[in-house]
Structure 1
Amino acid sequence: MRVPALRGLLPDVSEYAEMRLHWRADLAAGATVGIVALPLALAFGISSGAGAAAGLVTAVVAGLVAAVFGGSNVQVSGPTGAMAVVLVPIVGDHGVAALALVGILAGLMLMVTGVLGLGQLIGLVPWPVIAGFTAGIGVIIFLQQVPLVLGAADDVGTRPLVAAFHSVQHADWSAVGWPLVAVGIVIALMLVVPLWNAQFPVSLAAIVLVTLMVEALDLPLARIGEIPSSLPMPSLPVFDTALVQTVFTAAVAVAALSAIESLLSARVAVDLSGDARYNPDRELVGQGMACVASGVFGGIPATGAIARTAVNVRAGARTRLSVITHSLVLLGVIYLASGPVSRIPMAALAAVLMLTAARMIPYAEIRTILRATRSDAFVLLLTMVVTVLVDLIEAVQFGIVVAALFTLRAVARTSGVFREEISSDPDPADDRIAVYRLTGSMFFGASERVRSEVRAEGDVEVVILAFSQLRTLDATGANTLAEIVRALEKQGVTVLIKGVPNRLMALMRSVGVISSLRDRRHLFHTFPPALEHARSHVRRSAAAREQALAAPGSES
């Protein structure tokens, strides 16, 4: 790979050129998003099964590394709900200790993907898949909070829908009154306060208020528990070959999710800020480095966080200083406020995530897609259902495959062949000439239909295949055309080909379409010479038949 291309994946001093103009706004935006990120980092750490401390460490370490090395100036990275959903079964199958190895492996995969220039592939994910995926994540995050509130949790790794159902089924309803009150207070404040002041960090304020109330009344609510008062020392996990093989598939899933969510979040940042300076390949490299660093410090894999990125942009962020400030604010919490944070009730964090999950679901987009086409609606619903009931990565895979199949069917329907009337001055020979025009794309999805349509019926002696409106052609389509030509020639029908686009000629020659013609002169650029040749062929055939009938010994 060329050095200039690699250089574009590395930080540059010019990225901070505007900092002297916007440093006040960046510091304020960073402080704001840091306050907003605190409860989310704690909650997503708990939801992943790794614990609140791991979520906080991830927000600090991964957020800082991605801020410096990522491809967006304003994207905020850290633990997210989607990643927490993926990590739960990994913790259930392999234990919390495996997360460091999974994160490092996933980070290395992301870095390789970015160096190979695969960041643009995010554009291949259809809109209905993204909407269904996002909605499914929202549902899962909401379901994950039910056991935290009701206090009747299944084993780690149980499907969220099953775990939520069991929690409701086996809850001690005489003991859940106060947790439900805490949830109600937090949600009510988060809904009402923004009506007066949208910039106020209401989620943090609501958690502080509920924590003070629980402490004052000495209520029996489960708490977060001990939070480290400093960053843990970095250490590498044991790279045991057997363990690497065991968790490799999980690492692939984590890398895929981190890539998808980070690139989508970065695109949202571009749309919100109007700043088109965004490098998707560098974003993958930066997120990969963030995952590696987070794993080394005992955190969990991170991704770009759409909600926190949106808060950062709307708070006035312009440069990477805002994202760096966000991490430093959270670092201050670790060193200065770990004691108070450890007393936060789990129900309060669950309430924040419940409302966050409900707001994640793109209701307007879902309504639009459901009203669009039946195939788009099916892809959206399929992706959402598979996300909730099976697996996030499989949901994206299923969604993309099904969307591709629907697209291929649509392209195949708009591509095809029809018999065309000869519009020039009538000629008696025209009754024995059939003109077929191929349009659109001749590919594997349309080849069989074209094969069934092109035929020589009755007295047809010449078939003209018109290709001037053929847009694309693949090997299957070209092979089908060659088979059609050979079949017609075998029947004694002369085939003429007209108007092959220059970009398709090499493929048609290599697959054998042109060589299947009876004579190389049966290839024409325009229609009039092809028609004149067909008419002269019919006349010669008619004359030959008359001579045969007039010859001595022929039947009278």
Structure 2
Amino acid sequence: MRGVRELLPVRNDYAELPTSWRVDIFAGVTVGIVALPLALAFGVSSGVGAAAGLATAVVAGIVAAVFGGSHVQVSGPTGAMVVVLAPIVASHGVGSVALLSVMAGVIVLALGITKLGRAVAFIPWPVVEGFTLGIGVIIFLQQVPLALAAEGVEGINAVVAAYLSVSGAGTSTLLLALGLILLVVAVQLLVPRIHRALPASLIGVVLATVLVEVLGIDVPRIGALPQSLAAPSIPPISAELVTQLAGPAVAVALLAAIESLLSARVASGLRGPEGTTTGPYHPDRELVGQGLASVAAGLFGGMPATGAIARTAVNVRSGGRTRFSVVVHSLVLLLVVYAGSGLVSRIPIAALAGVLMVTAARMVFTSTAKVVLRSSRSSAALFTITAFVTVAFDLIEAIQIGVLAAAFFALRAVAKMSGARREQLPGRREDGDGRIALFRLEGSMFFGASERIMTEISAVKGVEVVILRMSHLDLLDATGAHTLVETIDELESRGVTVLIKGVRSVHTQLVERVGVVGALRHREHQFDDLALAVEHARSHVRRNAEARARAVPQS
């Protein structure tokens, strides 16, 4: 029950509200204004429509704020989710998204309940940065067919779709779309220089809409929106549809969990305008909140939601201190649904494309990319591989391949630091010491290094006793222990006596079970003290020398 209580809202979530409610309201309104064009754009770009984007921002924003593990995280539709949803919508239709959102939300909820939230720590930094770069490229390219209202390119790779839409568009269509995009981009770049608090993306969209209306330009618009939030309902469900969406639901859930946890982790390090910190976050509770948010969004006809780092950063920098600021952000968007749907319907789609192009470009930090590429060859390879796979194939595959590649490079590095180093015998040198080989096993003797270590030890020549010093061995797995058995057997078969010294307590049980001690000629050939092991080895050499002397015929 204590573990369950940790995942539920508590009164302490709003401990600062009596002193911070004013700045929370200001931050919430600011985030709502910033989130409006993004919610519309992500809904349109994913193929489910602007109304679904708004519904997701409203419903998921409130639910994740109340039940999530971060005090400042703003949730809703995001670019990464758009990248995943677009081909799913093309394959299964818009009607499947609500059920997909519920299914993915249940999976994310289960991940939180089973305490898997801290698994995001196993994703290496170069993989995260490569993943972010790939998402930024895809979001940018996806806006090309969106702005041109190109048909028949859904579900195709973003690079190919962008090329086909440009090559198939007329000159006038290209020029109009390009002009609106450049206008919105220019406004987003210039307005912050006037005042950073001004909502640049919203101003750009408004200017583009006014220009199109005044000049009577015929361009694709968002279209009619519902004037209220849809009543919650269970999406159409069937065994066949659930089976078809099972795979995509897992992919969406993994992406939602990864993106939300990464966003919350970044948010925990952000500081407010007065240098205030946002406080720690609870990863498992964050997954519970995000899972419930996606389920709720699906019930209201929305799309899967995740934590959005861009909107979260705006919330923190605007002074947001508690979850109340995120709730206010959702209420601002809800007001737009009920009072401004008619105006919103007139927004040109190309204007939203311009907003997302700037968003995509700002996701890529060239300074960070340079640091990753210069840090090490393996980090540069991880970054490049993840970014390429993200753009060319699939986001989840990119994460999987990136983590696998990281594991490979990590194991290779550990293997390189592991080995068997031959040492001089301690103390004063005695006759016959040349027939004793003392090896210190270092690092990790595991499946990635055990074969090489065995080869290094077995290659020793002209010795009668081998001492394996294991006190410096950090890691020993079953493969490494089995390789030790094979090494001892091989040396003993050549008449070389093997002594082992300093088996650590954490390895004792494994050594016994796999048979390392049993492979020794005597159980007494296991020592805790190096001096005793060396003295025992010298006694073997002396006895062998005496035996050889007795075997020589007396003249």
Task: Map residues 525-540 of structure 1 onto 2, 5 A cutoff.
Answer: 525-540=528-543
CA contact (8 A) 2:20 2:321 kept: yes
TM-score if structure 1 supplies the norm length? 0.97
Per-residue deviation, 1:525: 1.0
Matched residue, 1:432: 435
| Aligned mate of 1:381, from 381, 384, 399 | 384
The residue type paired with residue 119 of structure 2 is: L
**Separation in structure 1 between the aligned mates of residue 536 and residue 191 of structure 2, nearest angstrom:** 82
| Aligned mate of 1:66, from 56, 64, 67 | 64
| Aligned mate of 2:24, from 8, 23, 26 | 26
| Aligned mate of 1:124, from 122, 125, 136 | 122
Is 2:507 the counterpart of 1:504? yes
CA contact (8 A) 2:153 2:165 kept: no
Is 2:352 the counterpart of 1:354? no
Per-residue deviation, 1:156: 2.0
Q: Which moved more, 1:135-144 or 1:167-176?
A: 167-176
Matched residue, 1:46: 44
**Separation in structure 1 between the aligned mates of residue 458 and residue 162 of structure 2, nearest angstrom:** 61
Cα deviation per residue 1:94-151 (whole Å; 9 max; x = unaligned)?
A: 1111111111111111111101100000000000100000000000000001112234
The residue type paired with residue 454 of structure 2 is: R
Cα deviation per residue 1:525-549 (whole Å; 9 max; x = unaligned)?
A: 1211111110111101111111122
CA contact (8 A) 1:187 1:352 kept: yes
Per-residue deviation, 1:169: 1.3
| Aligned mate of 1:486, from 486, 489, 492 | 489
**Separation in structure 2 between the aligned mates of residue 286 and residue 175 of structure 1, nearest angstrom:** 43
Matched residue, 1:266: 264
Cα deviation per residue 1:281-338 (whole Å; 9 max; x = unaligned)?
A: 0000000000000000100000000100000000000000000000000000000000
| SS of residue paired to 1:272 | coil
Matched residue, 1:281: 284
**Separation in structure 2 between the aligned mates of residue 175 and residue 50 of structure 1, nearest angstrom:** 23
CA contact (8 A) 1:432 1:538 kept: yes
The residue type paired with residue 212 of structure 1 is: V
**Separation in structure 2 between the aligned mates of residue 360 and residue 456 of structure 1, nearest angstrom:** 54
CA contact (8 A) 2:458 2:490 kept: no
Unaligned runs of 5+ in 1: none
Is 2:235 the counterpart of 1:237? yes
**Separation in structure 2 between the aligned mates of residue 496 and residue 91 of structure 1, nearest angstrom:** 66
| SS of residue paired to 1:515 | helix
Cα deviation per residue 1:247-279 (whole Å; 9 max; x = unaligned)?
A: 100000000000000001111110104233311
Q: Aligned pair in 2 of structure 1 residues 18, 505: CA closer, same or farther (>3 Å)? A: same
CA contact (8 A) 2:154 2:161 kept: no
Unaligned runs of 5+ in 2: 272-276
Matched residue, 1:249: 247
Per-residue deviation, 1:494: 0.6
**Separation in structure 1 between the aligned mates of residue 176 and residue 237 of structure 2, nearest angstrom:** 45
Is 2:295 the counterpart of 1:292? yes
Cα deviation per residue 1:468-490 (whole Å; 9 max; x = unaligned)?
A: 11111111111101111111112
Matched residue, 1:495: 498
Is 2:319 the counterpart of 1:316? yes
**Separation in structure 2 between the aligned mates of residue 275 and residue 542 of structure 1, nearest angstrom:** 74
**Separation in structure 2 between the aligned mates of residue 505 and residue 200 of structure 1, nearest angstrom:** 65
Matched residue, 2:274: none
CA contact (8 A) 1:434 1:456 kept: no
CA contact (8 A) 1:153 1:163 kept: no
Q: Aligned pair in 2 of structure 1 residues 105, 151: CA closer, same or farther (>3 Å)? A: closer
The residue type paired with residue 218 of structure 2 is: P
Q: Aligned pair in 2 of structure 1 residues 536, 348: CA closer, same or farther (>3 Å)? A: same
Per-residue deviation, 1:456: 6.2
Matched residue, 2:182: 184
CA contact (8 A) 2:109 2:292 kept: yes
| SS of residue paired to 1:308 | helix
CA contact (8 A) 2:23 2:320 kept: yes
**Separation in structure 2 between the aligned mates of residue 302 and residue 126 of structure 1, nearest angstrom:** 24
| SS of residue paired to 2:462 | coil
Cα deviation per residue 1:49-102 (whole Å; 9 max; x = unaligned)?
A: 101111011000111110111110100000000000000111111111111111
The residue type paired with residue 253 of structure 1 is: A
Question: Percent sequence identity over matched residues?
Answer: 57
CA contact (8 A) 1:456 1:463 kept: no
**Separation in structure 2 between the aligned mates of residue 240 and residue 37 of structure 1, nearest angstrom:** 34
Per-residue deviation, 1:457: 4.2
Matched residue, 1:94: 92
The residue type paired with residue 524 of structure 1 is: F
Task: Map residues 169-180 of structure 1 onto 2, 5 A cutoff.
Answer: 169-180=167-178
CA contact (8 A) 1:89 1:157 kept: yes
| SS of residue paired to 2:171 | coil
Task: Map residues 216-227 of structure 1 onto 2, 5 A cutoff.
Answer: 216-227=214-225
**Separation in structure 2 between the aligned mates of residue 185 and residue 458 of structure 1, nearest angstrom:** 78
The residue type paired with residue 69 of structure 2 is: G
**Separation in structure 2 between the aligned mates of residue 40 and residue 175 of structure 1, nearest angstrom:** 24
| Aligned mate of 2:193, from 192, 195, 211 | 195
Matched residue, 1:328: 331
Matched residue, 1:205: 203
Matched residue, 1:13: 11
| SS of residue paired to 2:197 | coil
Matched residue, 1:115: 113
CA contact (8 A) 2:419 2:449 kept: yes
| SS of residue paired to 2:499 | strand
| SS of residue paired to 2:221 | coil
Cα deviation per residue 1:480-511 (whole Å; 9 max; x = unaligned)?
A: 01111111112211101011111111111111
| Aligned mate of 2:152, from 143, 154, 166 | 154
Q: Which moved more, 1:83-92 or 1:169-178?
A: 169-178
